[in-house]
Structure 1
Amino acid sequence: MSLFQQKLDLSRTDKNYYSATGTPQLIQLNEIPYLTITGYGAPESDMFINAVEALYTVAYAIKNISKKDAKDFVVPKLEGLWWVNSENEMLEVPRGDWHWKLMIRMPDFVSERIADDACKVAIAKKKKLDLIHNITFEIINEGACVQMMHIGPYSTEPDTIEHIHTFMHSHDFVQNGLHHEIYISDPRKVKPSLLKTILRYPVKKQK
């Protein structure tokens, strides 16, 4: 049985991407395809919730299209890039002013054409979910990154971020991209104290 006749699970085949240690570590990433949607507002806002639904609706449409071509896959974990239009730290800015790009990684065999076809299927299926029109297919290359596994509620992330920044400073790295989170645990199924989230920062050497 070939790989494409099995159900591809990227969390198993790409451990470099979907695992992290309890201390900061440097990894190297290459070009990776994603479904993405960009917006702003608190994670509990209607826009955020609807954006997640739109993203997953298209991701499962891609899965169904690929499955018919004997290329079935497990829909990967939700991810997010976060930023604020301010020099202040995110937690110093009202949650309603947070900006985000939600992402779901796609297998390498998924193309922009397949994503476009899936969006059409998703729009026909959920006509009232207008945010499907905002879904895009992107190739992103974060390159060198420093990351660490955060265990616990999202509210305690600053402690883990501090460890990452200390590591970056001691190795002469500066941030070279957006704050990146990979939600390994489903907050609907796991206690806040046990949540696992990979925190990742693209970096470059300080001049």
Structure 2
Amino acid sequence: MAPYDVKRELKELYAPRNTTWAVVDVPGQRFIAVDGSGNPNTSPRYTAAVEALYAVAYTLKSAAKRTDGGDFVVGPLEGLWWADDYAAFTTGAKDSWNWTMLIWLPEWITDAMVAEAREAALVKKKRPEIAEVRVVSLAEGPSAQVLHIGSYDDEAPLLAELHDTYLAANGLRPRGHHHEIYLGDPRRTAPEKLRTVLRQPVEPVTP
């Protein structure tokens, strides 16, 4: 049996095709996570957080082969992003960004397995950020979502459209943090070909 691949099984969420905003219903999911703040392009903290997540994720992948649920493909890197002033995202004021970086967890991976994987990865890699890896659950529900093709720095017009036009036109308002899913590897993919899922949980505007 092929390893479980969340991109294949949840295509609406991990392989969308719409390049204009649309609302999808996101089920509850669990992730491993590390928190931080600052410019992801220049912050050593960001690089260390991502490396810590992957160290634990691949340790879990190895352990999963011995469970009833079986092997899985490590999911793409994801991130929750927020700032005191949302304009920081449309103006590119990256030093003021806060973030929680994420990697999806299969349902059959327990919190105890994560704790064991974290300890094993910490012994092997000796990176202190690994000790900070934690499990988080998200229940995003109805969310505005779009596939952005291009450089991360070119997301601003889509985000401005969401907050300046789309939400009001559809009687919605944002709820929770901005969520991104990175489907391409920026080390191996030209910026203009990167694919990123942009997502914003929403709720109806009540009178």
- Fold shared per TM-score above 0.5: yes
Give runs of aligned pairs for residues 165-184 of structure 1, distance below 5 A: 165=163, 166-184=165-183
Query: After the TM superposition, which of the residue ranges 79-88 and 99-108 deviates more from structure 2?
Result: 79-88
**Correspondence 1:41 to 2:47:** no
Q: Which residue pairs with 1:119 in the alignment?
A: 118
1:144 and 1:153, CA in 2 relative to 1: closer, same or farther beyond 3 A? same
Q: In angstroms, what is the RMSD of aligned CA positions?
A: 1.5
User: What displacement does 1:96 show?
Assistant: 2.4
Q: Name which of 49, 53, 56 aligns with 2:54.
A: 56
Q: Which residue pairs with 1:147 in the alignment?
A: 145
Q: Do 2:80 and 2:101's aligned partners in 1 also have CA atoms closer than 8 Å?
A: yes
Q: Which residue pairs with 2:7 in the alignment?
A: 11
User: What displacement does 1:69 show?
Assistant: 2.5
Instruction: Give CA-to-partner distance per residue, 1:37-77, whole Å, 9 cap, x none.
Output: 10011112100000000000000011011012261110000
Q: Which residue pairs with 1:77 in the alignment?
A: 76
User: What displacement does 1:91 show?
Assistant: 4.6
SS in 2 for 1:109: coil
Q: Do 2:90 and 2:157's aligned partners in 1 also have CA atoms closer than 8 Å?
A: no
Query: Sequence identity of aligned pairs in percent?
Result: 33
Give runs of aligned pairs for residues 94-113 of structure 1, distance below 5 A: 94-113=93-112
1:164 and 1:85, CA in 2 relative to 1: closer, same or farther beyond 3 A? closer
SS in 2 for 1:113: helix
Q: Which runs of 5+ in 2 are unaligned?
A: none
Q: Do 1:84 and 1:93's aligned partners in 2 also have CA atoms closer than 8 Å?
A: no
Q: Which residue pairs with 1:164 in the alignment?
A: 162
Instruction: Give CA-to-partner distance per residue, 1:61-116, whole Å, 9 cap, x none.
Output: 11011012261110000001111133643354742221100000111111111111
User: What displacement does 1:173 show?
Assistant: 0.4
Q: Do 2:88 and 2:96's aligned partners in 1 also have CA atoms closer than 8 Å?
A: no
Q: Which residue pairs with 2:135 in the alignment?
A: 137
User: What displacement does 1:167 show?
Assistant: 2.0
Q: Which residue pairs with 2:194 in the alignment?
A: 195
- Structure 2 counterpart of 1:104, one-letter code: I
**TM-score (norm. length: structure 2):** 0.92
1:72 and 1:145, CA in 2 relative to 1: closer, same or farther beyond 3 A? same
SS in 2 for 1:37: strand
CA distance in structure 2 between the partners assigned to 1:206 and 1:91 by the alignment: 23
- Structure 1 counterpart of 2:150, one-letter code: G
**TM-score (norm. length: structure 1):** 0.92
- Structure 2 counterpart of 1:134, one-letter code: E
CA distance in structure 1 between the partners assigned to 2:96 and 2:156 by the alignment: 18
1:183 and 1:112, CA in 2 relative to 1: closer, same or farther beyond 3 A? same
Q: Which runs of 5+ in 1 are unaligned?
A: none
SS in 2 for 1:69: coil
